[in-house]
Amino acid sequence: MKKNYLTAIIILLIAVILMVTASVDFLNKRRMNKLYPSEGLTKIGKLSNYLPGLEGTNSDSDVYFYDSGNPGSTILLLGGTHPNEPSGYISAVVLIENIKVLQGRIIILPQACKSGFTCTDPMEALPADFILKTRSGNRTFSFGSRVFNPLDQWPDPEVYTHFPSGQKLSGFETRNLNRSYPGKVDGTLSERVGYAIMKLIRNEKVDIAFDLHEAAPEIPIIKAIIVHEKAKELGAMAVLNLEFEDLKYALEISPKNFRGLSHREWGDYTDVLPFLMETSNPIQGRFRGRTNSNLIVYGEDDNYRKALELGKLRIEYDPKGEPLAVRVGRHLEGFNAIISACNEFNPDKQFKYEGIPSYSEICNKSFINILH
């Protein structure tokens, strides 16, 4: 055998070993995290129940139903619309594992963009997951990409044209669930998921819907509640009540000309009152330093802190960091405040529940006594 053939075979074998090792990691990322629903769970459905075309795809998300059996409001809560914004996902998991519904019912999609949980954004050195200390020990949760996995939806067009408005955005946004509403029954995967969620809202006669997000510290809409104009009174009341608890939220009205977003299209195309909440997440920041799972969980970043100390930071940033527990606490406290406002505005159609830890409980005890 020629010498160069022998070296080629040896190098190929080493490459195969590396490929298999990497493949195990990549394939493990497709396994969904095991959740432990509270006793109040009525049933677990699938998104494909609302659009059969999603069956067998990597985006047929689980839908958790908690029905008290007593007439009242129907609530929808979406976590994981953007799988790189973990406070939304973990807030949904906290609800799934703790909530007891007393009146009305709640429907929870913890991983609205399931496909996005199977990869991370390229060129960002992002971790694949993060670990939280819970009652049962250390639990691993997936950290994903802002958009659908390109293995599930490809190729991206040069320019994404939103259906039906015709609004033009960067081609990358074609895989963004929160630019895909109201969706299309025979569209791309993201449009089909958007369509299925709209159909869920209509079929289940959802009254109030939440979409939980995070944003980089330098984005102006962090620590905000974004509402459709038909829900602005409720939003204002919730924000005022949160002020009494020393929690500041900006109230933003959904822009009418920015199409494809949940707070705009859910409100325009259905009877639901939509709310989108944002928290500040340093791992999404462009100025961030070391990027690892600690940054997700503790939210402490040396670059932002140093810039703050030097007086060069023009944004709001807590030098103690933005821990995941605080971000989840803010989402859940916002959820509580909006539900209370809705109950007050509409006493004939209430949603009552218990078992959800308060903001201070989550901040003090983290997730140890809260998650299974």
Partner 1 sequence: MLFTIYILILLLLATIVVIELFKEMEWKKQIAYVMILIPFVLRILQIK
SS3 of residue 106 by DSSP: strand
Angle between helices 189-203 and 262-269 (to 10 degrees): 50
Q: What is the CA radius of gyration of the chain?
A: 21
Residue 91 or 190: the one with the smaller Cβ distance to partner 1 is 190
Pick from 32, 28, 25: which is nearest to 46 by CA? 32
Confirm or reject binding of residue 19 to partner 1 (CB under 8 A). yes
* 4 interacts with partner 1 by CB under 8 A: yes
Nearer to partner 1 by C-beta: 20 or 310? 20
Stretch of residues binding partner 1 (CB under 8 A), selected from 23-31, 263-271, 340-348, 357-365: 23-31
Closest to partner 1 by CB, 22 or 44: 22
For residues 175 and 44, the answer to whether their CB atoms sit within 8 Å is no
Instruction: State the minimum distance, in angstroms, from the CB of residue 164 to partner 1.
Output: 24
Q: For residue 32, give the DSSP letter.
A: P
Could you tell me which residues come within 8 angstroms of residue 361 by beta carbon, excluding any fewer than 6 positions away?
369, 370
Provide the token pair at 33. Answer: 């995290």
CB of 345 to partner 1, least distance (A): 49
159 near partner 1, judged by CB under 8 A: no
Taking the least distance from each CB to partner 1, the nearer of 2 and 286 is: 2
d(CA 83, CA 80): 5
Task: Provide the minimum distance between the beta carbon of 130 and partner 1 in the complex, in angstroms, as a whole number.
Answer: 21
Out of 14, 32, 125, 159, name the contact with partner 1 by CB under 8 A: 14
Site for partner 1 in 82-121 (CB under 8 A): 119
Inter-CA distances, 195 with 53, 57, 229, 309, Å: 11, 15, 22, 47
Q: At 371, give phi and psi (nearest 5°).
A: -105, 150
Residue 19, H or E segment: helix 3-28
Q: Does 23 bind partner 1 (CB under 8 A)?
A: yes
Our CB check for partner 1 shows the closer of 12 and 310 to be 12
Classify 90 as helix, strand or coil: helix
Helix ranges (H only) for 53-116 are 86-98
Please report whether residue 138 would count as binding partner 1 according to CB under 8 A.
Answer: no
Distance of closest approach, residue 172 Cβ to partner 1, in angstroms: 18
| Out of 32, 44, 125, 151, the residue judged to bind partner 1 by CB under 8 A | 151
With binding defined as CB under 8 A, does residue 125 bind partner 1? no
Reduce the DSSP state of residue 101 to 3 states and report it: strand
- Confirm or reject binding of residue 32 to partner 1 (CB under 8 A): no
Could you tell me the smallest distance in angstroms from the CB atom of residue 3 to partner 1? 8
* 12 touches partner 1 by CB under 8 A: yes
Looking at 139-209, list the stretches that DSSP marks H as alpha helix, in order from N- to C-terminal side: 189-203
Under the binding rule (CB under 8 A), the answer on residue 11 touching partner 1 is: yes
Question: C-beta of 123: minimal distance to partner 1 in Å?
Answer: 14
Closer CB to partner 1, 142 or 281, in the complex = 142
Least Cα distance to 366 among 96, 91, 134 occurs for 134
- The answer to whether 85 and 221 have CB atoms below 8 angstroms apart is no
Residues 332-361, one symbol each (x = binds partner 1 by CB under 8 A, - = not), give: ------------------------------
Q: Applying CB under 8 A, which residues contact partner 1?
A: 4-5, 7-8, 11-12, 14-15, 18-19, 22-23, 26-27, 119, 151, 154-155
